[in-house]
Every structure is written in structure tokens, then in C-alpha cells.
Amino acid sequence: MTGLPPARPATEAPEDASLEDAIARLLTLGTYAAVALLIVGVVGLLLGGRSPLDGGPRLDLGRLVSDLAALRPDGFLWLGLVAVIATPPARVAASLVRYLARRERGMAVIAFLILGIIALSIVVAIVSEG
């Protein structure tokens, strides 16, 4: 282990490499942001005398902004969880854009179907909760 990133295949086009680097940065930043938000939320709960294991309120997207503005720990926890959930679909969306730009129809259809399945699962979850 030299600590160097793995060499790129000789057949990989420069635009592919830059897109893959951008997607890697997106995943890394999304993960770091989610972890930071979760840490802020957990520390806020502990400072407020609450345990993160006691549970909390249900997700209410309408309250999320006001919770964050009021520096309520619940808002940071929910935003961190939303970031954890949203990061992988953001990677698929970025790949979809790439496939469309390169006119790779088959891969674009697959990426679109993956995003559709994710969207459908969110709708089903919301409907089944309500």
C-alpha cells in the first residue's frame, strides 16, 4: 500500500475520469456532511439532557427548516439522515446525466429506472405511513 490512488485504465477517456472524480467527491462530501450533521444533532441532544436512543419526533419536512433555524437537535438529525439517504441517488442522477450526454441509451434507461424505483419506494413509504 503506497497511499496512491489506483491507476486508471488506459482505455478510460479523460472526461470519464473527471466525471468519476466529481462523483467520488459528491459521495465523499455527502457522507462527511451527513456525519457532521448527525454529530451536531447527537451532541445537541446530549447537551439538552436527552438520549439519542430515546427516539424522537417523526420526520416533518415542514418543520425541518424551522428546527434548523432554531438550532434544535432534531432538525440536524433529520437533515443528516436525509443526506445519508439522498447521497447514493445523487450518484445515480449524476451517472444518468453522463449517460444522456454520451447517448448511452441503455445505461441511461437503467439509471432512470433505478431513480424511478427509489421514487416509487418513497411514495409507497409515505402513503403507508399516512
Determine the length of the chain.
130
Nearest-5° angle of CA 28, CA 100, CA 85?
A: 35
Mean pLDDT, range 96-101, rounded to an integer: 90
Q: Is the pLDDT of residue 12 over 60?
A: no
Task: Pick left, alpha or beta for residue 94 (phi over 0 → left; psi -120 to 50 → alpha; otherwise beta).
Answer: alpha
Residue 72's pLDDT band, with cuts at 50, 70 and 90, is: very high
Report yes or no on whether pTM surpasses 0.75. Answer: no
